[in-house]
Amino acid sequence: MSENGHHVVSPKIYATILVALLVGTWLTVQAAKIDLGPWNIVLALLIATIKMSLVILFFMHGKYSPKRTQLVIVAGFFWLAIMLGLTMTDYKARTPEPSRTATPPAIEIQRV
């Protein structure tokens, strides 16, 4: 703790979190190149949630905040979980649209 009561975070921790965020970004790009079917969106959201957690906990000092602030952060995560759950439910319930290139056009246009 410093003189004014705020927690001072070591630059080593910031560097470690920066490397973790860069690795998370690299993982996101690599995961986008792999066809996992419906699991692509799940994996992308999982990686994004982990990266968001690191930013909130360390860069925004959520880890060292008072209990009331931590409660607000946990409530935010709970709300995010509800929204992601509803999004995934909607995503799973949709039927795929037929491809526009799979069916031939109704009228064939002849060029002169």
**pLDDT, position 72:** 92
Residue 41 inside a domain? The answer is yes
- Distances in Å between the Cα of 94 and the Cα atoms of 41, 89, 97 are 14, 9, 9
Q: Give how many domains the chain has, as a whole number.
A: 1
Tell me if 85 is assigned to some domain: yes
Residue 55's domain comprises 11-93
pLDDT tens-digit map of 1-55: 555 667 788 889 999 999 999 999 999 999 999 998 878 888 998 999 899 999 9
Sort residue 90 into left (φ over 0), alpha (ψ -120 to 50) or beta. alpha
pTM score, whole prediction: 0.65
For a pLDDT cut of 70, what percent of the chain falls above it?
Answer: 83
Asked whether residue 103 is domain-assigned, the answer is no
- The answer to whether position 100 is within a domain reads no
Q: Is residue 102 part of a domain?
A: no
Distance (Å, whole) CA 17 – CA 69? 21
